[in-house]
Structures are given as C-alpha cells and as structure tokens.
Amino acid sequence: MPENVAETQATIRNDWSQQEVEALFAMPFNDLMFKAQTVHRANFDANAVQISTLLSIKTGGCAEDCGYCPQSAHHESAVKAEPLMPLNEVLKSANEAKEAGANRFCMGAAWRSLKDRDLERVAEMVEGVKSLGLETCVTLGMLEEHQAKRLKEAGLDYYNHNLDTSPEYYGEIITTRTYEDRLNTLSHVRDAGINVCSGGIVGMGEGRHDRAGLLISLANLPTQPQSVPINLLVQVEGTPLDGVDNLDPIEFVRTIAVARIMMPKSFVRLSAGREHMTDELQAMCFLAGANSIFYGEKLLTTDNPDTNHDQQLFKRLGITPWVGEEKTEEHSCSSAA
C-alpha cells in the first residue's frame, strides 16, 4: 500500500487487497482521519456537499428477501404495497426538491427487476425531471442491457444498484438474488454510459472483514462508482435484522474514511441512518470525506433529518451545497438502501 499520501491522491487503483484495506481500518483514528481528509482536499472542495432527494415511486411488495428491507413481501412490516406513482405527482415532488435546494432527484421502485411494461413510464419520469434542470437517478432493481440503453436515451444521469455487503457475507442477508446478478446490472449501466451509484449497508451484523470486502468490491470495479452511498442500517420491526447489535459510531466513521481513501474521486454519500446520527457524528463523517447527502424527510420508507435541520447543520459547519460538474472522467483503475 502506498505510504506516500500524494501517491494516493493522484492514483486510482483497482487492485486493493484485503490485507491493505484492513490495515487502513486498523490505523490510529487520528492518522486515518488525516489521511482521508488530505485525499479529500486533493480532489474536492472540502466544504461543499452534494444534495440529493429520494422519492419512492413504487413502494412495497418486492419479491426479494433482503433481510434489512421493510418493502420485501417476505417480511411482516408495516409497509404496504402501492402502485407506480403517476407522472404528475413525481414531477411535483421533483419541483419541490429543487426549490428546497436539491440538485439531484432520485426515484426508487421496489422491484426485483425492471419490467419492459414499466420501462416507458419510468423513461417519461426521467425526461420530466431532467426538464426541470435536475440531475436524475433511479434505482429499479436488476436491469437488462436494452433497458439501460433506453434510460440513457431518456437522459438518466445515475443508476443506483448497491452491492450491500461483502461477497462472503452476502448470503446471510439475501438469497433471492446473487452477487453476480448485481455486478451484471452495474456492467449494463456502465456500458450504456450512465454514471454508477453503488455502495452498501453497514451495521447488519457483519465484521470489519466484510466492511473491507464491500469497499474492495466497489473500488476494484472496472470503473469506480461515481457515487458511493454508505448506509447505516435502520432497524425496522418485522424484518430479520431488527434487533442486531448497533455498529460502533467510530467504526462507521472509519468506514467513510477508508472509502474516501480507496475511491478518491467518487462522491461518498451519507445515506440511510442519518436520522439516528448526532450532529457531531455527521460532522465527523464530513471530516472523513463524506460529501453527499440525501435531503428530505423520507428515504424510501425510513425517516431522514428534515431539510431545515440539515440547513442549520450546514450553517454551523460552514458547509455549502455543491454546485458544478462531478469528476466523471475515466479513472486509471477503471449513488439506494
């Protein structure tokens, strides 16, 4: 592993090993934070955070059995199945998000995979949101090659498809879709020229070995994801993961810092779980290199800090909303819950 921080800043790698990444996790906390912040400042404005808003356009009734998800038809949660939202309601929500300061609008549907019968309706949503001057992102489950191409034609900027956890721990969380299925969808997205948004969830009972394995799977993709959401598990009654031990907040910050070092030009997003984070913990995550959040009261079906609170926190920290083009050039190694 390069000891020279400048080398880490300049070089994007897709050959990270388990030993290297676990060594990063094991660094003294202050040294890890310094390294992550140095890498972050070399690639981004350290005081700017990209803001996205997420809307569930089709809630509940998903055929997958993801152990964390209240939208799964396999679990007895309070979330009920609803049909795909009408276009006008989606555009109304997108306009409200823009007025609240978001520059990217993400739409999520609780599907195992996108069906061709729904493709054109989703494409119309993408076109409509794009016409409002917002970046567009969708998460619709697994995609086929022709579907990715159609979404690109509609103007889709980002496709979210998380890897969730390490390949080794994956079978403990999901049995209805393989890791290879997820990687294939990401391949279709990349080949269509759509930016990849892919990350995972921590606090699901996994160990540090698995958190390292997740980040290795992401960083060693043919092209590192342009956006990397790091979700902290939100425990929901009725799901299999309700009641697991909470992740140490310092370990969560370490995960953010290691992600920043390994993927220096990717936006690292604080996603699910912010509702349960203190302002101090969020501030530490920003210091570790997180530079993207979801704005708004809901993340699909779980709570999120309200917009006013986020604005107040940004003011206290001297953070401004990110404005401008992301660094999406080809990398040498070469954003859901």
For 133, counting Cβ atoms within 10 Å of its Cβ (0-12 exposed, 13-18 middle, 19+ buried), the class is exposed
Coil vs helix vs strand at 321: strand
Q: Give the C-alpha separation, 65 to 252, whole Å.
A: 25
Catalytic residue (choose from 150, 177, 182, 197): 197
User: Is 121 tagged catalytic?
Assistant: no
Do the annotations mark residue 69 as ligand-binding? yes
Q: Is 197 annotated as a binding residue?
A: yes
106 part of the active site: yes
Ramachandran bin of 166, using left for φ above 0, alpha for ψ from -120 to 50, beta for the remaining angles: beta
Name the pairing type of β-strands 267-270 and 292-295: parallel
**Of the listed 269, 274, 285, 333, which one is catalytic?**
269
User: Is 333 known to sit in a ligand binding site?
Assistant: no
d(CA 173, CA 264) in angstroms, rounded, equals 28
Active site residue 333: no
137 is in an annotated binding site: yes
Sign of CA dihedral 44, 321, 159, 236: positive
Contact 204, 232 (CB under 8 A): no
Is 269 catalytic? The answer is: yes
Answer yes or no: 62 catalytic: yes
Check 13, 104, 137, 260 and give the catalytic one: 137
Binding-site positions for [2Fe-2S] cluster read 106, 137, 197, 269
Q: Give the residue ranges of the annotated binding site.
A: 62, 66, 69, 106, 137, 197, 269
Q: Would you please indicate which residues are annotated as catalytic (active-site) residues?
A: 62, 66, 69, 106, 137, 197, 269
